[in-house]
A and B are shown apart, each in its own frame.
Chain A
Amino acid sequence: MRVFRCSSLLGSSLLAAIALWLGHSLTGAQAKVFNPTVYTLDNGLQVVVVENHRVPAVVQMLWYKVGSADEVAGYSGLAHFFEHLMFKGTEKTPQGAFSGVVRRNGGNENAFTSWDHTGYYQVVPRAQLPEIMAMEADRMTGLTLSADDIETERKVVLEEWRERVSQNPGAQLGQAMDAALYQNHPYGRPIIGWKREIEALNYDTIRAFYRQHYAPDNAILVVAGDVDPKDVLQLAQQYYGPIPRGNVAPRVRPQEPSPVAARRVTVRDERVREPTWRRAYLAPSQNSVGKEHAYALEVLAQILGDGTVGRLAKSMVRGAEIAAAAGSWYDGDRVDDTSFSLYVVPVVGVPLDKVEAAVDAEIAKLLADGVTDAEVAAIVRRMQAAAVYARDSLQGGARALGEALANGGSVADVESWPDRIAAVTPSAVLEAARLYLRPERSVTGELLPSEPAS
């Protein structure tokens, strides 16, 4: 079943978090491969063009610098709910007409909401670019939302919540861990929102959110494919150029205090047959204070947590045979402080305390002995190979650049990514590990079966 209009919500599940991490390593590695053409319109819209002439197709992605972490407390889920409503039509383009153009041309479309951004994209034959650009520009300010639209879509969003959260104890653990990890920052709220707050979002709040955040000076247009950058810039000027600036206020969010307490959360659910163990450490992102450690943390995530050859997999899956899977990932592409995370799926019958002891032993060894030159060199080589693979799709470059720009980074950050990864040294990895893999920065999560009735 196809996931619709919401791919980044995947962040709420363990599996998707792994996917996110995988995507991320490709993300940066595209540097110096895409050589994007960059332009800013007078109204503030950033335009990024990536040429890829292998298929006569084009992807348009419009990224807004607004995500769930920009919601006001009490209105969680608003950014994501609004993403759904962006498909409800405008005066010029009635509901379904935009999707109709995409489908009649064999294209596909979707949208996604994350903590820091909301994005909309369409893949179409290159000849359709002007048409879909006109429609995407039109709905930046032209939505005609009725109360009925909102009520029908609220039902859809609640079904999505049931499917992703209520049916999935692992997702509930993820939400509980986020809520514990971020004691002050809105990253502690789920992207899809708390159910009771989704139920209460009203028409006026929704319209106000639209006016406040959907404007050219809060957006990035990325076009990738079989196009000439000059033509794209001209089209962007024509369709997006006339939209007035929104003078969107800069993001000001509550930041995390220095954590002092190791935390532990446990979710018990009768549907859980096999326990899962997870841990998250508060860590800087590529854009927050401490960002100079971001590259070392990326390398560390792979040395420790690569699913097949990482240290955890070697010692716990292959060596001691206590885990079916074990790994780590670092979610560096955020605006504010983020997490460095570990997970273990124990083999049947192995208790979580044994799992946790094994992970802690690996971390203690890491903090005592650091990592080797050979380990770092292998990761650097692998990440540079990823740069070649990353060119092998239409959307890869568009996603990498759009995400970086939407989350407070720059094209230059993406461009220099392989060099910065290559500059990571074993001592930098050890320093980052000692700074951030500390108990007081951590939340340990356990997913367990219900306790037997007493």
Chain B
Amino acid sequence: MIGRICRRAACVVGAVMLVLCAASAQAQDKSGIVEVISPSGIKAWLRQDSSIPLLAIDFQFQGGGAIVPAEKAGAAVLAARMLTEGAGEWDGEAFRQALADNAISLGFDAGRDSFSGGLTTLTVNRDLAVRLLRAALIAPRLEEAALRQEKAALVTERRRNLTRPNSIAFRNWFRTAFKGHPYSTSLHGTPESVANVQSGDVAGFLQNVLTRRGLIVGVAGDIAPADLAQVLEQAFGGLPDHAPPPELPQAAPPPAGMMVIQQPSQQSVLVFGHDGIGRDDPDWYAASLVVQVLGGSTFTSRLGAEVREKRGLAYGIGASLSPYKSGALVLGRTATRNEAAAETAQIIRDEWRRLAEGGPSADELAEAKSYLIGSFPLSLDSTDAIASVLVQMQDFNLGRDYWSQRADKFRAVDLAMAKRVANQILKPDALLFAVVGAPDQVTATLPAIGAQ
């Protein structure tokens, strides 16, 4: 197989690929991930699987919504949407029609830390799909009429969100938690900030982030390494090579306290959390296990057992690690009837403290380990899912052997370590709550920004 690819690569692309192909063959571990490098140096990780004639290309640029000034918040999201609104030889309608008629899925999205995209296509439409991707990246039309429509749609969305309890809760939580830091700004913006965005803002954002430096690519499915080298060149080779936006300063830990946002409602939404742990922290695996025990499953986690299974206080409850690069969090959410909001908040605090002080039991730790070890391979059941994991692995510098090493990293966490880390990362007295609804007997200790 590899031999055939190398011969073909030698014919088609030349000597550069011959060398790279040999390197790929050596580097391939049992997960089957190879690194492919295009003639001009665009790198991607590939897991080839030709059992279904389709492929997925996921990619990510450094720099996201957090680099947009607050008064233009939403510009990154608009930029993502504008890339598929006409590019190169295709006007907006032709672009959308080409995607639809050929069953090509191409989309972009802005996160707080990064700007990402994904392409999924049948193998038979690969050439067209890659041409569309290239056009979107290097020749988006960014026409005024299209921007006006996208802005109108986003303003409408944002106005609808103003009264949604979950949105209000998270908005308040983030604004307060990251006060003074770019993370405090809503990624999607407010109706006013979206209205403020001009085409120059969108173009400027794209110029900033769309650079080969900081580009990460993960590919899965029906494509040979040699073909991928060409596809990478075609899709991304035309991008500039300037420095990506700098990383943001680290945020200060969120303040502790209780915010209450009154809204007429039969139920209160509770968002709760505090500072967390970075993905590159040596304690990451222990912390993942601890937070799994705390709030990983609505049925079996401590929060799930106490709040839902024993007392019927909520339909769902959970807490997890959110490793934002400049301000990692432990963050959770639930919703309960207004009369039970105070009790639920107290249970959350109590369970937080009990786990911080006593750590998980040996059984709990074993169960969390076997879940986190076993769930990973089961989650890789689609081409898109694999491509997306390949991007994350590179984003967090995990190494191509991560698939085979991952289980051992969890196994290496012993009970003493889990207890130490539980004590270190769970801070019941640092919890910041945002409660939205008409909760009984919940006293605010911090001012909220309110529904808007």
A interface, CB within 8 angstroms of B:
1-4, 54-57, 87, 96, 99-100, 103-108, 123-125, 151-160, 162-163, 166-167, 270-274, 306, 308-309, 314, 317-318, 321, 324-325, 345-348, 378, 381-382, 385-386, 388-389, 391-395
Contact = CB atoms under 8 A, between A and B. Distances in A.
B10 interface: no
Contact of B103 (A158, A386, A392): A386
A378 B97 CA distance: 10
Contacts of A272: 163
Contact of A382 (B51, B54, B96, B103): B103
A50 to B, nearest CB: 13
Contacts of A156: 308, 312, 314-315
A394 B383 CA distance: 11
B156 A57 contact: no
Given A106-B370, A391-B52, A382 B101 contact: yes
Nearest to B148: A321
A55 B163 contact: no
Interface stretch (B11-19, B197-205, B209-217, B294-302): B294-302
Given A104-B370, A162-B266, A389-B122, 10 more contacts: A57-B381, A106-B375, A107-B375, A167-B265, A274-B156, A314-B93, A347-B153, A348-B152, A382-B101, A395-B381
B340 to A, nearest CB: 9
B103 to A, nearest CB: 3
Given A167-B267, A382-B103, A321 B149 contact: yes
A103 B335 CA distance: 24
Contacts, number: 181
B389 to A, nearest CB: 13
Nearest to A56: B377
Interface in B245-301: 263-267, 269, 297-300
B155 interface: yes
A274 B160 contact: yes
Interface string B144-165: 0000110011011101101111
Nearest to A394: B381
Contacts of A99: 297, 299-300
A346 B159 CA distance: 12
Q: Among A54, A124, A386, which residue has the most Cβ atoms of chain B within 10 A? A: A54
A385 B163 CA distance: 39
Interface in B66-108: 92-93, 96-97, 99-103
Contacts of B335: 159, 162-163, 167
A158 B338 CA distance: 13
14 contacts: A4-B299, A103-B300, A103-B370, A152-B311, A159-B335, A162-B266, A273-B162, A274-B156, A274-B159, A325-B153, A348-B155, A348-B156, A392-B54, A393-B381
Interface residues of B, number: 69
A2 B314 contact: no
Contact of A393 (B265, B300, B382): B382
Contact of B310 (A152, A154, A347, A378): A152
A162 B337 contact: yes
Contacts of A4: 298-299, 315-316
Contacts of B266: 162, 166-167
Contact of B380 (A3, A55, A317, A345): A55
Contacts of A166: 265-267
A273 B159 contact: yes
Contacts of A124: 378
B367 interface: yes
A309 B310 contact: no
Contacts of B298: 2, 4
Given A154-B312, A324-B156, A389-B103, A273 B163 contact: yes
B300 A273 contact: no
Interface string B359-381: 00000000100111111111011
Contacts of B51: 54
Nearest to A170: B160
B312 A155 contact: yes
A1 B318 contact: yes
Contacts of A163: 267, 315-316, 335
Nearest to B368: A103
Contacts of B447: none
Contact of A167 (B165, B382, B384): B165
A57 B264 CA distance: 46
B312 A100 contact: no
Contact of B381 (A55, A162, A386): A55
B93 A318 contact: yes
Contacts of B370: 103-106
B230 interface: no
A1 B301 CA distance: 14
A8 to B, nearest CB: 15
A306 B100 contact: yes
Contacts of B93: 309, 314, 318
B165 A106 contact: no
Contacts of B155: 347-348
A394 B101 CA distance: 26
B54 A389 contact: yes
Q: Among B99, B191, B297, B312, which residue has the most Cβ atoms of chain A within 10 A? A: B312
Contacts of A346: 156
Contacts of B373: 106
B152 A324 contact: yes
Nearest to A98: B299
B336 interface: yes
A100 B300 contact: yes
Contacts of A159: 267, 312-315, 335-337
Contacts of B122: 385, 388-389
B299 A96 contact: yes
B227 interface: no
Contacts of A157: 315
Nearest to B123: A388
B313 A155 contact: yes
